[in-house]
Amino acid sequence: MDTQHPDLHPLFADHVATLKARADKALLRSGHDHLVIAAGQPHYQFLDDRDYPFCVNPHFKHWLPVTKAPGSWIAYTPGRRPKLVYLQPRDYWHAVPETPAGYWVEHFDVEIVREAKDARAHLPNDAARCAILGEANAALDGFAPNNPADVLDYLHWHRSTKTPYELAMMRVASRIGARAHRAAERAFRAGVSELDIHFAYMAAARQTDNELPYGNIVALNEHCAVLHYTDLAHAPPAHLRSFLIDAGASFHGYACDITRTYAAHDAGEFQALVDAVDAAQQGFCAKVRAGQSYPELHVHAHHVLAGILREHGFIRMSAESAVESGVSSAFFPHGLGHPIGLQVHDVAGFQASDAGGTIARPPGHPYLRMTRTLEPGMVVTIEPGLYFIDLLLADLKQKPTAKDVDWDKVDAFRKYGGIRIEDDVACTEDDPENLTRDAFAAL
């Protein structure tokens, strides 16, 4: 199959068949007759008539690549074609959703309605026999989302395994993201502000803030130490030292999530640290294989990063001691990554089985976002980092292990903020597929 330009017709046909089979089993387990999914409705700002950017229910866009049709519904009954009830209002204040068209339409019975309330006539009569997925504000008269846990547990668990169609969508999202990251790096090298880098990214991605899968993290110098920095300074700093960008892109409802860190041309020692983290990250990506415990991979990453801290003179203790004492967590305070797909932080990262349950995080690692064992079809991010965060370093300085930290070396690196390298990696039956590195290589 041509992964650059795949034929979406057979891929989508197989995808819908998979979703129908999963829905059949979920409904059988829960005792419901119908699966009904609300696209959702806009949320309005307090004391105003301005709505927040619409974010479609991920269960809705799992069935079809439609992300901008608030008030629409999908209804599926086992043994029948799924039905799309599509709201196309009479409206001259806003852009009206386009008439459904494309490779996916032939798989749905499509009903067009002009008012949101009219959708009710096209949905199953007995709401009590329906598993209705969505937010509370999507409710119609006598027909409200009930989000049964046994249905959600089953669907979320199996959503972790991507279909070939989904992987094709994520490859495209990765190519868009890689192209935009290259534009952002060029803007950084040109010496512009964080805000201008952000604009360069959006222009290259051809996506607005509201179309991107999450708010871009665009950080220069010390700002790289703020894990979710989104302030976007309007003026460039007096001296460029470092640049961290964590930014994604969307395609047909699927996300990519990419992070890169760059050093200024005169920051040789910092560049060496970036190179070390990048090499380690590629080693972690190579371990995204079936049967690999994600928490164990996370702990392994701590040991490798602690070794880098020792090798580069930040600590004098062994890597093992740094991990056991929590010193490594002062420099690497977040998890190794998370599931990704329809959502940037996708569902079921902690789920024990398709019947629910939770797999606990390992002690001492409260911010890890996934505790499952990897299986073919899963896509996860791998995003190790090393940071110089004043708050965490001040805490570390008060501990007995502070004597094994070279504080002069640490202080010299605070001006760079930190490093994070992130790829999206698919687990397969064989070698992992690095969607991000492949996308950069194709530019």
pLDDT in tens, the chain (443 residues): 445 667 899 999 999 999 999 999 999 999 999 999 999 999 999 999 999 999 999 999 999 999 999 999 999 999 999 999 999 999 998 889 999 999 999 999 999 999 999 999 999 999 999 999 999 999 999 899 999 999 999 999 999 999 999 999 999 999 999 999 999 999 999 999 999 999 999 999 999 999 999 999 999 999 999 999 999 999 999 999 999 999 999 999 999 999 999 999 888 899 999 999 999 999 999 999 999 999 999 999 999 999 999 999 999 999 999 999 999 999 999 999 999 999 999 999 999 999 999 999 999 999 999 999 999 999 999 999 999 999 999 999 999 999 999 999 999 999 999 999 999 999 999 999 999 999 999 99
One-letter identity of residue 425: V
Q: How far is 289 from 433, CA to CA, in rounded Å?
A: 10
DSSP state of 234: S
> Which CATH number is 8-159 given?
3.40.350.10
Q: What are phi and psi of 415, to 5 degrees?
A: -65, -15
Residues of the chain with CATH 3.90.230.10: 164-441
Q: How far is 32 from 162, CA to CA, in rounded Å?
A: 25
Bridging pattern class, strands 217-220 and 242-251: antiparallel
For CA atoms 301, 257, 312, 275, give the dihedral sign. Answer: positive
Is the Cβ–Cβ distance between 21 and 57 less than 8 Å? Answer: no
Count of Cβ atoms closer than 10 Å to residue 333 Cβ: 17
Q: How far is 343 from 97, CA to CA, in rounded Å?
A: 22
In sequence order, which residues have a C-beta less than 8 Å from that of residue 192 and are 6 or more positions away? 200, 236
What is the length of the chain?
443
Tokens of 173: 């999202």
> Which CATH number is 164-441 given?
3.90.230.10
Q: How far is 154 from 158, CA to CA, in rounded Å?
A: 6
Q: How far is 342 from 337, CA to CA, in rounded Å?
A: 16
Answer left, alpha or beta for residue 377, where phi above 0 means left and psi between -120 and 50 means alpha.
Answer: left
Residues of the chain with CATH 3.40.350.10: 8-159
